[in-house]
Structure 1
Amino acid sequence: MLVIGDVMLDRYWYGDTGRISPEAPVPVVRIGDEERRLGGGANVALNLARIGARTRLIGVVGNDEPGQAAEGLLQEAGVVSDLLISNSHPTIAKLRVMSRNQQLIRLDFEKSFAMDGAFERAELLARVRAALADTDIIVCSDYGKGTLADVAAIIAMARAAGVAVLIDPKGRDWARYAGASLITPNVAEFGAYAEGFATADDWQDDTTLARGAEHALSQLDLTALLITRSEKGMSLFERGGAQHLPARAREVFDVTGAGDTVIAMMAAGLAAGLTRAQAAELANLAAGIVVAKLGTATVSRDELLAALHAAPEGGRGVTDEAALADWMTGAKARGERVVMTNGCFDLLHPGHVAYLEAARALGDHLIVAVNDDASVARLKGPARPINPLAHRMQVLRGLGAVDWVVAFGEDTPERLICRLLPDVLVKGGDYDAAQVAGADCVIAAGGGVRILEFVDGHSTSAIAARIRERAGD
């Protein structure tokens, strides 16, 4: 991930206040603690690094103590900092004085990094060009401080290299963002850009917002537009369609930096192979986590996994083995009872549904491990599976009884089961418990094995045979 943008240092002074100053009607705060956090484009980079993305940051800081502090925080987080050092501009810094979880005042220290000198602007573009070959996605974090004065040139370079560019915009002049892959404004920023198209109140209407979005997509040659809408959640607009995502936050404590989290998770999702709609769901969930925190904040991988599982709609039930192993650690720590079963689930029928519901009733969560296409073919013959792995997993994730769906490539799930070690391992049919793959590991770890009867009259092989017979007719 390559992040380019305005780098800031956020400082927090914490203290108690119990009296009013005799000099003026203002509270007196006795400062006890100080905290420093990354802000602006640096916070975007930090969000990415916290979930494990390899991240490089290009920006500008001053030759001063705040600049050194920002670089130190970046190094601690594992971000590759590729920062230009300015001798004529101070590092952009914000100081917030906090008391009893309330912000009393914010002091800004800044001077625009417009980089009027040709050398500075050329140097920044040269660093972007050098980083392109090792970049999957670019995020431009524009806070209007001047670092992205040549954003149009960055977009052009990225398009020529086939690299997607995501932009968190600022101001009303969006012509310079033309050709970007995706822009992530909040509804107020979008209203400022589209002023004259509708009044401020009209932007809360889905129909009006859709018309404005369609206009922006066309005028700016964008692939997609993600508009954050506060308590209304987010709206993702693409050519020919829109998706509205409800807000995930249960409690909004502080929206500082939420936009940084949104664009970071959107970029990470796309780089990892998610669709734009799936990445938007991830970003929406992450935003709900971060606004419940005080000040400029990030979201961790563990927090995302926990929130994905806790989502009312079942979250993203299709996962991978590594992520599921991490989630299992948390579930065990919380004392939750995890049930696991496995199968091909090629043609889902009522017998499968009844079996999975019975398995889910044995604990708090149900994991379904699914044979991949190659292992199904080895077990069932070259004519199987009828449905590819991705389709089988998506159907399973839609069942109310199923929490997580994970694939495995071996003929048996023994290795996977022995890694996850569920509390209850379930198998259907006439098996003896000792014959079930992975049973030894589960029992040795203190778990149990249950054999459930299949519902009579339902068989995937029989359904497949009937389909072939009717196709022959």
Structure 2
Amino acid sequence: MLQKSLVELIEKMQGKKIMVIGDMVADVYLEGEISRISREAPVLILEHSIENVVPGGAANAVHNGATLKGTIYAVGVVGNDFAGQELSRVLQSKAVDTEGLLLDSSRPTITKTRIMAGGQATVRQQIVRIDKEKKEKLSFEVEQAVKSYITEYIKDMDGVVISDYGSHTVTPSIIEGVITKCHQNNIPCMVDSRYNVMSYHGITVVKQNESEAAAAVGDDIKDRATLLHAGKTILEKLDAEAVLISRGPDGMSLFEKSGKVTHIPVTNKSEVYDVTGAGDTVVATMILALAAGASYEDAARLSNFAAGIVVKKPGTATTTPAELRQAIDEHFE
């Protein structure tokens, strides 16, 4: 029975050791209320009230894995700055192992700062976003330090995620080394890559959204035929075991090496609210489920339920085992 197997999976995946490698992002929210128009220029003056740092990018996958009670090892690079310190502190507060967050004083922590404004009688809105990151690749020394950490700890993992947002943390050498070591140790390895997925030959599982998958194969996804073409092309070219394509309100499509294709509808189509970071929730849930011995289909279905929970929450959000159990039970009532 599907309901029982999915609920049992939630228990089995708790405590599984997952290494998440990638672009660790600090999502900074500056909150305030608009007080007046400036005399100096026709701009609004925002009275600052609070500043929050939320894990983003690969750090959001880390955060999601931790709230689902996995034992998560974060591997990436942060700068010698407030954003990096606060990002590490937030993840440590969730019992994440952050020894793999290596300090590189030559580059800032990847930061996306959102200026948020609203009053008592107005809706809170984003006024502007300010991004900060170094476009150059990692230095040889820092890359070697990342690779050394991975080599030392990866053999003890139950699953590995590479979360590649295109910010140069994940180098070709790191990609090759991780995939090779996962094969050698029979560890499921999953990639979520925004721009570079076709570089991950030999990866176990690929996660893409529709636009990313379309870009990867160089063809628009506009109907069932082009969707099938994209999924099967990625699967074959990367020699992967499975490809999961998220399709927004149309759910997910899972392509397996056996030739099986499974289309999974959303669990809350009428209540979609905010899809920010939902892909990281899918990745974290799926790798934990695979680490717990789930089939690709059951892991995908469980991740679909997890995504259905976080899209009801504003901003980058996470879910818990209790919320996941409740969502499954309500769905099958």
Same fold (TM over 0.5): yes
1:211 CA drift (Å): 1.8
1:209 CA drift (Å): 0.9
Q: 1:291 aligns with which of 306, 311, 315?
A: 311
Partner-residue secondary structure (3-state), 1:47: helix
Question: Equivalent residue for 1:89?
Answer: 107
Q: 1:228 aligns with which of 229, 238, 246?
A: 246
- 1:60 and 2:77 correspond: yes
Question: Equivalent residue for 2:274?
Answer: 254
Partner-residue secondary structure (3-state), 1:254: coil
Aligned mates of 2:89, 2:154 — CA distance in 1? 24
Aligned mates of 2:239, 2:227 — CA distance in 1? 18
The verdict on how the C-alpha distance between 1:254 and 1:113 changes in structure 2, with shifts beyond 3 A counting, is farther
On the 8 A contact 1:89/1:113 being kept in 2, the answer is no
1:113 CA drift (Å): 5.9
Q: 2:47 aligns with which of 30, 55, 73?
A: 30
The verdict on how the C-alpha distance between 1:234 and 1:151 changes in structure 2, with shifts beyond 3 A counting, is same
TM-score computed with the length of structure 1 as normaliser: 0.62
Q: What does 1:326-337 align with in structure 2 at a 5 Å threshold? A: none
Q: 2:128 aligns with which of 105, 109, 113?
A: 105
Question: Equivalent residue for 2:261?
Answer: 242
Question: Equivalent residue for 2:167?
Answer: 145
- 1:183 and 2:206 correspond: yes
- 1:39 and 2:59 correspond: no
Q: What does 1:407-418 align with in structure 2 at a 5 Å threshold? A: none
1:224 CA drift (Å): 0.6
Aligned mates of 1:131, 1:125 — CA distance in 2? 10
Aligned mates of 1:295, 1:22 — CA distance in 2? 33
1:16 CA drift (Å): 2.5
1:56 CA drift (Å): 0.6
On the 8 A contact 1:226/1:234 being kept in 2, the answer is yes
Aligned mates of 2:104, 2:162 — CA distance in 1? 20
Q: What does 1:12-411 align with in structure 2 at a 5 Å threshold? A: 12-17=29-34, 19-81=36-98, 82-99=100-117, 100-112=123-135, 114-115=137-138, 117-149=139-171, 150-171=174-195, 173-195=196-218, 198=219, 200=220, 203-239=221-257, 240-249=259-268, 250-311=270-331, 314=332
Aligned mates of 1:79, 1:282 — CA distance in 2? 22
The verdict on how the C-alpha distance between 1:124 and 1:310 changes in structure 2, with shifts beyond 3 A counting, is same
Partner-residue secondary structure (3-state), 1:33: strand
Q: Which has the larger radius of gyration?
A: 1
Aligned mates of 1:279, 1:53 — CA distance in 2? 15
Aligned mates of 2:299, 2:41 — CA distance in 1? 50
Partner-residue secondary structure (3-state), 2:77: strand
Partner-residue secondary structure (3-state), 2:303: helix
1:20 CA drift (Å): 4.5
Tell me how large the CA RMSD over aligned residues is: 1.7
On the 8 A contact 2:217/2:233 being kept in 1, the answer is no
Q: Which amino acid aligns with 1:294?
A: P
The verdict on how the C-alpha distance between 1:305 and 1:24 changes in structure 2, with shifts beyond 3 A counting, is farther
Q: Which amino acid aligns with 2:62?
A: A
1:177 CA drift (Å): 0.5
1:17 CA drift (Å): 2.9
Question: Equivalent residue for 1:317?
Answer: none
1:254 CA drift (Å): 2.2
The verdict on how the C-alpha distance between 1:26 and 1:256 changes in structure 2, with shifts beyond 3 A counting, is farther
On the 8 A contact 1:44/1:260 being kept in 2, the answer is yes
The verdict on how the C-alpha distance between 1:79 and 1:166 changes in structure 2, with shifts beyond 3 A counting, is same
Question: Equivalent residue for 2:8?
Answer: none
TM-score computed with the length of structure 2 as normaliser: 0.87
1:170 CA drift (Å): 2.1
Question: Equivalent residue for 1:383?
Answer: none
